[in-house]
Amino acid sequence: MPEDAATLDGARVLVTGASRGYGAAIARALAAEGAYLIITATDTGRLASTAKACRALGAGGVECCSLDLADATSVDALTDAITTLVPRLEGVVLSAAILGARGPIADIAPADIEAAITVNVTHQLRLMQGLAPLMASGAGVVIITSGAASKPGRGAYGLTKGMLDVAADVLRAEWADRDVRVIRVNPGPLRTDMRAAVHPEEDPATVPPPSERVPPVIAVLKGADPGPCIQAAEWGLS
């Protein structure tokens, strides 16, 4: 972390899934804190819009990197690019994810289950393995989870988010002696493309914008460690 853990000014932070939705909102909030951002997505055109907004908000620098979590080569290329850009990372936010195939998991084709596990679990971990040598002492890793994790009827998404939860908690225990905090954040329902895909009948105006659920992520990156998982909707409420 920077010397004063209450500031993110100049902190080097990777945010995946930053082209839209929650990842973009997190990137913008970090930019307003003066962080140096490495942001990723498959759609680098949309990512450029996030980068422009982040620069206008006062980011200490913004690098856009392509990342396709379906592709191991892309994951390794990102690790190489980050290693060239920075000697250390003070923060990582893993927001990128896919919904994958829907329905009871017994009805989902094995190839579709495998595809969702690859994006939402295997390559998230591959990325963390590649970044492990770069993680600064005191760094924070935020892994975005969901209320759907491990729940029946939530298709490949619920399955893979549950798997990622387990992986995050193992990583948290294994990296504790390196002083790297791994914390899951469940934002609750957010007004994003993903939510609209699951609930097309819903009036988006009734769902919180992603910016409302960013504060716990910022707090973790500033040094907070309230435990392995934060329910963002309850953050700051007593």
Ligand X SMILES: NC(=O)c1ccc[n+]([C@@H]2O[C@H](COP(=O)([O-])OP(=O)(O)OC[C@H]3O[C@@H](n4cnc5c(N)ncnc54)[C@H](OP(=O)(O)O)[C@@H]3O)[C@@H](O)[C@H]2O)c1
Question: Among the candidate windows 5-13, 55-63, 131-139, 186-194, which touches ligand X by CB under 6 A?
Answer: 186-194
Q: Which residue is nearest to ligand X (CB)?
A: 21
* By CB under 6 A, residue 97 contacts ligand X: yes
Give the one residue of 27, 64, 65, 69 binding ligand X; rule: CB under 6 A: 69
Task: Give whichever of 138 and 189 is closer to ligand X, judged by the CB atom.
Answer: 189
Question: Among the candidate windows 16-24, 52-60, 84-92, 176-184, which touches ligand X by CB under 6 A?
Answer: 16-24
- The pair of structure tokens assigned to 130 is 């590649």
Q: How many CB atoms lie within 10 A of CB 62?
A: 23
Question: Among the candidate windows 2-10, 18-26, 77-85, 130-138, which touches ligand X by CB under 6 A?
Answer: 18-26
Of 227, 73, 54, nearest to 64 (Cα)?
A: 54
Q: How far is CA 106 from CA 20, 32, 57, in A?
A: 31, 45, 47
Task: Give whichever of 7 and 150 is closer to ligand X, judged by the CB atom.
Answer: 150
- Tell me how far apart the alpha carbons of residues 156 and 31 are, in angstroms, rounded to a whole number: 33
For residue 188, how far is the Cα from the chain centroid? Answer: 14
Q: How far is CA 20 from CA 6, 44, 147, 166, 167, in A?
A: 27, 11, 20, 26, 25
* By CB under 6 A, residue 140 contacts ligand X: no
* By CB under 6 A, residue 62 contacts ligand X: no
Run of H or E residues at 56: helix 44-57
The alpha helices in 86-122, defined as continuous H runs, are 110-117
Question: Among the candidate windows 1-9, 107-115, 133-141, 182-190, which touches ligand X by CB under 6 A?
Answer: 182-190
Task: Give whichever of 48 and 85 is closer to ligand X, judged by the CB atom.
Answer: 48
Shortest Cβ distance from residue 37 to ligand X (Å)? 14
Shortest Cβ distance from residue 68 to ligand X (Å)? 5
Shortest Cβ distance from residue 12 to ligand X (Å)? 20
- Tell me how far apart the alpha carbons of residues 41 and 82 are, in angstroms, rounded to a whole number: 14
> Which 218-237 positions form the footprint of ligand X (CB under 6 A)?
none
Please list, in sequence order, all residues whose beta carbon lies within 8 angstroms of the beta carbon of residue 54, skipping any fewer than 6 positions away: 27, 28, 30, 31, 37, 39, 62
For residue 37, how far is the Cα from the chain centroid? Answer: 13
Task: Give whichever of 5 and 53 is closer to ligand X, judged by the CB atom.
Answer: 53
Give the one residue of 21, 100, 140, 155 binding ligand X; rule: CB under 6 A: 21
* Contact residues for ligand X, defined by CB under 6 A: 17-23, 41-43, 46, 67-70, 95-98, 119, 144, 146, 187, 189-190, 192-195
